């Protein structure tokens, strides 16, 4: 890695950490939320072999607009159009009802860019592993299983994006008895 890409990644991690500073995961330990975007970027780099820095940046930033006060204009000014476009592609419209948002993820997944599909895939892989690690506060076993089934429908639309990540995902679905 060149020293400039190191600096760019540190800048991006710092931006995401500041934006998510007051947010916690839903696990009983209330883990800092930033563990999730860092983990998603790490899956792409370490397990998916991804070196495209804009994909890694988008992974670090992928929940900033959906879950914090960050705007796309702000991302564009700091990180430029490509990173912003990838984040936009993986951002749910929070004004829509939850069922509609979930349905749209399944519908849109096959039409996303390759870069956005990579981020989506790693996001789902992280969240499924997190569900195996522990159940979010207030979630029943049925809700966990429903998340696996829904995630499998999204992942179907991401086929052919990254063999290593898809293989790991497939194993998790098999363990849950979910058909991909």
Ligand X SMILES: Nc1nc2c(ncn2[C@@H]2O[C@H](COP(=O)(O)OP(=O)(O)O)[C@@H](OP(=O)(O)OP(=O)(O)O)[C@H]2O)c(=O)[nH]1
Q: Active-site residues: which are they?
A: 66-67
Q: Which of 44, 55, 131, 172 binds ligand X (CB under 6 A)?
A: 131
Binding ligand X by CB under 6 A: which of 25, 42, 85, 168? 25
**Alpha helices (H) along the chain:** 3-19, 35-42, 53-61, 64-67, 72-79, 81-89, 98-108, 114-133, 141-156, 163-176
Tokens representing 174 are 């098999």
Q: Is 89 in the site for Mn ion (CB under 5 A)?
A: no
Site for Mn ion in 28-67 (CB under 5 A): 63
- Is position 116 an interface residue for ligand X (rule: CB under 6 A)? no
25 binds, among Mn ion, ligand X, none (CB under 5 to 8 A by kind): ligand X
HSE of 173, CA atoms in CB hemisphere, 13 A? 20
Closest distance between ligand X and the C-beta of residue 163, in Å? Answer: 22
Cβ proximity of 26 and 137 under 8 Å: yes
Residues 66-95 within binding reach of ligand X (CB under 6 A): 66
Maximum alpha-carbon separation in the chain: 47
Burial class of residue 60 (count of CB atoms within 10 Å of its CB; 0-12, 13-18, 19+):
buried
Among the listed residues 26, 42, 85, 103, the single contact to ligand X using CB under 6 A:
26
Give the residue with the Cβ less far from ligand X, 127 or 153: 127
Site membership for Mn ion, residue 123 (CB under 5 A)? yes
User: Tokens for 53?
Assistant: 């820095």
Give the one residue of 43, 44, 63, 115 binding ligand X; rule: CB under 6 A.
Answer: 63
Interface residue list for Mn ion (CB under 5 A): 63, 123
């Amino acid at each position: 890695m060149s020293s400039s890409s190191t600096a760019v990644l540190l800048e991006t991690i710092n931006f995401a950490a500041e934006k998510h500073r007051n947010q916690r995961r839903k696990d009983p330990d209330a883990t800092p939320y930033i563990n999730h975007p860092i983990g998603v970027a790490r899956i792409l780099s370490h397990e998916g072999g991804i070196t495209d820095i804009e994909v890694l940046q988008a992974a670090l930033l992928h929940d900033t607009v959906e879950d914090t006060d960050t705007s796309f204009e702000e991302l564009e000014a700091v990180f430029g159009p490509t990173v912003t476009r990838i984040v936009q592609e993986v951002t749910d419209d929070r004004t829509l009802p939850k069922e509609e948002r979930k349905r749209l993820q399944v519908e849109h997944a096959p039409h996303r860019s390759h870069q956005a599909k990579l981020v989506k895939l790693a996001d789902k892989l992280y969240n499924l592993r997190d569900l195996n690690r522990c159940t979010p506060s207030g979630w029943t076993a049925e809700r966990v299983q429903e998340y696996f089934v829904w995630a499998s429908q999204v992942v179907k639309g991401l086929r052919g994006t990254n063999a290593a990540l898809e293989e790991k995902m497939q194993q998790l679905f098999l363990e849950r008895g979910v058909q991909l």
